[in-house]
Each structure stands twice: as C-alpha cells, then as structure tokens.
Amino acid sequence: MEDNEYNDRLAYYMEIGVIEMAGVDENGEIIFAINDSAQELAPELWESHTEYIEKTLMELYNQDYIEVEYDENLEATITLSEEGRRIAKEKGILTEMPDVDNNN
C-alpha cells in the first residue's frame, strides 16, 4: 500500500472513530489502537487486525515464547517469555505488559 493510500485510510478510520491515538512509544512513534467499534463500522479492518494478531500469537506459541495453562474451568492463562514480550511489542500487538505483584 502506498503512503497516500495508507494515510487516507488511516484518516478515514480515525474520522469514523475506529482507530484512535493510544500514545507514543520510546522512539517517538505514534501508537494507534483499533476500537471494538471496528467490528461493525469497518469489518474489513477488524478482520485484518484479528487475523494479524492470531497469526502473530501462533508464531510466538510455535516458537515457545508463549505458555498456555488452563484452570479447572478451562479458562486459559497466557504467559509470554521476556523474548516473547519483546517480539510482541516489536510487532505492535503489545504496548505494555503490567508487572504482576503476587504479594497483594
């Protein structure tokens, strides 16, 4: 996709409210987020977005960067290794991962 087409699509998606600025990364790059409203207002964007996330997560899983554990209710807990976090952040599917404090 050419820059003009990309910029036009981004502007359109922001105008209809399915993409918003979520922040700025440590390199000064703008971080955009796709809202759930894209499911209805821009289904082509939502489908592309979810396919990308699923593909990336499967790649991380197949490379042993993700561990999945199930509880007695078959609810999954997904844990990313440090390298998995770095790759996920690099690929834009993870913007921040809160530290878990087990002492609370």
pLDDT in tens, the chain (104 residues): 688 999 999 999 999 999 999 888 778 888 889 999 999 999 999 999 999 999 999 999 999 999 999 999 999 999 999 999 999 988 888 866 444 444 44
103 in a structural domain: no
Our count of domains for the chain comes to: 1
Identify the domain containing residue 23 by its residue range: 3-90
18 in a structural domain: yes
CA distance linking residue 87 with residue 82, whole number of Å: 9
Helix (H, G, I), strand (E, B), or coil: what is residue 102? coil
99 in a structural domain: no
Q: Per the confidence metrics, is the pTM higher than 0.85? A: no
97 in a structural domain: no
Name 56's Cβ contacts closer than 8 Å, sequence gap at least 6: 88, 91, 93
> Which of 102, 17, 84 lies closest to 94 in space, CA to CA?
84
Strands (E), the chain: 19-24, 30-34, 66-70, 76-80
98 in a structural domain: no
The confidence score (pLDDT) of residue 100 equals 47
66 in a structural domain: yes
75 in a structural domain: yes
